[in-house]
């Protein structure tokens, strides 16, 4: 029988389904974590405003927590909306009783601007809950309310982390999305060292449930055994992706795509440049899947790689871990985009970059005489190599073949192909500066013929 990691959310219910307990359960589910709940409040709210808050009795909250701890081995706990000082005191007591290490999201104000806590909440939070907190995840307004100080700069965020840490939490993850700057920069503090995580700001306006989602993902990653630093970093990138793929259903704030596949989450990127390479490649792959006829997918599948500027090793090339494959019904991507996951495509890119550092992207498609003719008709330059001529001392077929084609053509072509050999599928490879460049070339190859292939395939399905 399958074993599942378990996490508990102690939070309020959101009738719009975008925040609170509902957001937490969706976030746990994305990570493959089984979610338990202890509901503190039932709210009547939507994407525009909070209409009503019905607090659950302290006795009921205690019984919910007792019930799940009686039956489950719980790996992580997250708290959200606690609303009153009585609730804070009750949860703080249970944290001590069950030796919890909670991720505390100090929910005080909804995205709509409505209050989600009573006036006495803050004093009890600081006195009873923060000293028992494992990781505190406030946004800037929440940190300002806790500290009684304004925060306007990154330096002030870093100083605020230290002051918040002094109040008792072991780790601080202060979200900097409210700062007016190009990137959304969050700060993690472990009591000694400060780390910053920056991702491009998404110009969507207000999103509903981003704070709940982030803290739930952190708890989920902690339950799965991640370190606090990596849990925070992974949760940030996952939340960023959910915001980037958000949708408008109500009349107010957008809703995060909390049902996103884990394979769509960014990898742990050592720099913002790595993240931007990942994002550009993912955008291209998503668009490619909308137009790609299965006749262009080889038996071994398609891989696409994109290198960071100045890449010198496969670890600096982002590619598809499991390739693009064809099924009976469709073309789909299997596996996530990550660095260092493709040997062949990385070898091609690094070889090309050794000649021209601006040529950082490549992908493979199925070889056929018809597909090669489409490449010629698209006006693309074409080079090739013959595997029979590969020297016995060649360290890599892809490195030797790519270089051989370039030397014989006296330049880097758009296309490099080979007709295969025993046990080796023939292949066409597209070379370009970046994912949009390779996608444009692929669109030229597909052209009207590709449109006919897609229409023919759709007719077969119907």
- Residue 128 domain-assigned (yes or no): yes
**pLDDT for res 21:** 96
Q: What is the pLDDT of residues 286-297, one digit of tens each?
A: 999 999 999 999
Q: What is the DSSP letter of 308?
A: P
Tally of helices (H runs) and strands (E runs) in the chain = 13, 20
Domain that holds residue 196: 6-259
Shared domain for 250 and 309, answered yes or no, is no
Per-residue exposure over 411-424, b if at least 16 CB sit within 10 Å of its own CB, e if not: ebbbbbbbbeeeee
Quick one: average pLDDT of 370-384?
A: 95
Read off the pLDDT band of 462 (50, 70, 90): very low
**pLDDT for res 281:** 96
Residue that terminates a domain, selected from 191, 226, 259:
259
Residue 98 backbone phi and psi in degrees, to 5:
-105, 10
Could you report how far apart the first and last alpha carbons of the chain are, in Å? 40
Count of C-beta atoms within a 10 Å radius of residue 444? 16
Q: What is the pLDDT of residues 181-237, one digit of tens each?
A: 777 889 999 999 999 988 888 876 678 888 999 999 999 999 999 999 999 999 998
| Sequence-distant (≥ 6) Cβ neighbours of residue 433 within 8 angstroms | 358, 359, 360, 361
Quick one: average pLDDT of 425-444?
A: 96
Shared domain for 191 and 317, answered yes or no, is no
Shared domain for 24 and 98, answered yes or no, is yes
- What three-state secondary structure class fits 183? strand
**pLDDT for res 457:** 44
- Residue 1 domain-assigned (yes or no): no
Quick one: average pLDDT of 320-329?
A: 90
Q: What is the DSSP letter of 252?
A: S
Shared domain for 184 and 99, answered yes or no, is yes
- Residue 264 domain-assigned (yes or no): no
The percent of residues in the chain predicted with pLDDT above 90, rounded, is 71
Shared domain for 79 and 135, answered yes or no, is yes
- Residue 323 domain-assigned (yes or no): yes
Burial status of residue 310 (CB atoms within 10 A of its CB: 0-12, 13-18, 19 or more)? exposed
- Residue 73 domain-assigned (yes or no): yes
CATH number of the domain bearing residue 90: 3.40.1190.20
Q: What is the DSSP letter of 389?
A: G
Nearest to 438 by CA among 368, 365, 374, 387: 365
Tokens found for residue 91? 């949860």
Mean pLDDT of the chain: 90
Q: What is the DSSP letter of 267?
A: P
- Residue 238 domain-assigned (yes or no): yes
**pLDDT for res 423:** 87
Tokens found for residue 184? 């959304």
Shared domain for 236 and 331, answered yes or no, is no
Read off the pLDDT band of 391 (50, 70, 90): very high
Quote the number of domains for the chain. Answer: 2
Read off the pLDDT band of 460 (50, 70, 90): very low
**pLDDT for res 272:** 81
- Residue 49 domain-assigned (yes or no): yes
Residue that terminates a domain, selected from 236, 259, 282:
259
pTM: 0.82
pLDDT > 60? residue 450: no
Shared domain for 132 and 55, answered yes or no, is yes
Residue that terminates a domain, selected from 215, 234, 259:
259
Quick one: average pLDDT of 381-408?
A: 94
Q: What is the pLDDT of residues 63-103, one digit of tens each?
A: 999 999 999 999 999 999 998 889 999 999 999 999 999 99
Q: What is the pLDDT of residues 20-70, one digit of tens each?
A: 999 999 999 999 999 999 999 999 998 888 899 899 999 999 999 999 999
Spatial separation of the C-alpha atoms in residues 241 and 235, rounded to whole Å: 10
Shared domain for 131 and 167, answered yes or no, is yes
Shared domain for 242 and 290, answered yes or no, is no
Quick one: average pLDDT of 342-363?
A: 96
Q: What is the pLDDT of residues 229-281, one digit of tens each?
A: 999 999 998 998 888 888 888 888 888 888 877 778 788 888 888 988 999 99
**pLDDT for res 115:** 59
pLDDT > 70? residue 452: no
- What three-state secondary structure class fits 194? strand
- Residue 267 domain-assigned (yes or no): no
Shared domain for 21 and 65, answered yes or no, is yes
Read off the pLDDT band of 116 (50, 70, 90): low
Length of the chain: 462
**pLDDT for res 330:** 87
Shared domain for 75 and 133, answered yes or no, is yes
CATH number of the domain bearing residue 340: 3.40.225.10
Shared domain for 300 and 176, answered yes or no, is no
Q: Which of 115-124, 358-367, 444-453 has the highest mean pLDDT?
A: 358-367
């Amino acid at each position: 029988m399958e074993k599942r990691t378990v996490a508990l959310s102690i939070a309020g219910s959101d009738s719009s389904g975008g925040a609170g307990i509902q957001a937490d359960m969706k976030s746990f589910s994305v990570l493959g974590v089984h979610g338990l709940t202890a509901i503190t409040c039932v709210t009547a709210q939507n994407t525009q405003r909070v209409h009503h808050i019905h607090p659950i009795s302290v006795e009921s909250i205690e019984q919910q927590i007792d019930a799940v701890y009686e039956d489950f081995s719980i790996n992580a706990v997250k708290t959200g909306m606690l609303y009153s000082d009585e609730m804070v005191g009750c949860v703080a007591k249970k944290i001590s009783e069950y030796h919890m290490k909670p991720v505390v999201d100090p929910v005080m104000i909804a995205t709509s601007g409505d209050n989600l806590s009573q006036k006495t909440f803050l004093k009890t939070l600081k006195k009873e809950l923060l000293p028992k907190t494992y990781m505190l995840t406030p946004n800037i307004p929440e940190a300002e309310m806790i500290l009684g100080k304004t925060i306007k700069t990154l330096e002030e965020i870093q100083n605020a982390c230290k002051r918040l840490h002094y109040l008792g939490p072991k780790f601080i993850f202060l979200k900097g999305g409210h700062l007016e700057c190009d990137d959304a920069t969050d700060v993690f503090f472990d009591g000694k060292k400060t780390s910053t995580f920056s991702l491009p700001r998404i110009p969507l306006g207000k999103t509903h449930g981003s704070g709940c989602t982030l803290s739930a993902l952190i708890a989920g990653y902690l339950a799965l055994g991640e370190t606090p630093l990596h849990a925070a970093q992974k949760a940030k990138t996952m939340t960023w992706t959910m915001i980037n793929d958000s949708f408008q259903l109500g009349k107010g704030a957008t809703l995060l795509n909390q049902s996103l596949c884990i394979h769509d989450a960014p990898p742990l990127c050592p720099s913002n440049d790595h993240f931007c390479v990942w994002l550009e490649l993912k955008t291209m792959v998503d668009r490619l899947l909308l137009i790609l006829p299965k006749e262009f997918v080889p038996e071994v599948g398609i891989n696409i790689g994109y290198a960071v500027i100045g890449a010198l090793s496969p670890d600096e090339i982002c590619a598809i871990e499991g390739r693009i494959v064809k099924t009976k019904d469709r073309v789909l991507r299997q596996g996530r985009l990550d660095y260092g996951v493709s040997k062949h495509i990385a070898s091609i890119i690094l070889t090309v970059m050794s000649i021209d550092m601006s040529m950082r992207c490549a992908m493979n498609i199925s070889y056929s005489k018809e597909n090669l003719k489409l490449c010629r008709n698209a006006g693309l330059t074409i080079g090739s190599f013959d595997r029979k001529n590969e020297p016995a001392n060649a360290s890599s077929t892809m490195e030797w073949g790519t270089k051989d084609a370039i030397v014989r053509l006296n330049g880097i072509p758009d296309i490099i192909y080979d007709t295969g050999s025993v046990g080796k599928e023939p292949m066409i490879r597209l070379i370009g500066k970046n994912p949009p460049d390779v996608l444009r070339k692929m669109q030229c190859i597909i052209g009207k013929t590709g449109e006919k292939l897609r229409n023919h395939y759709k007719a077969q399905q119907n």
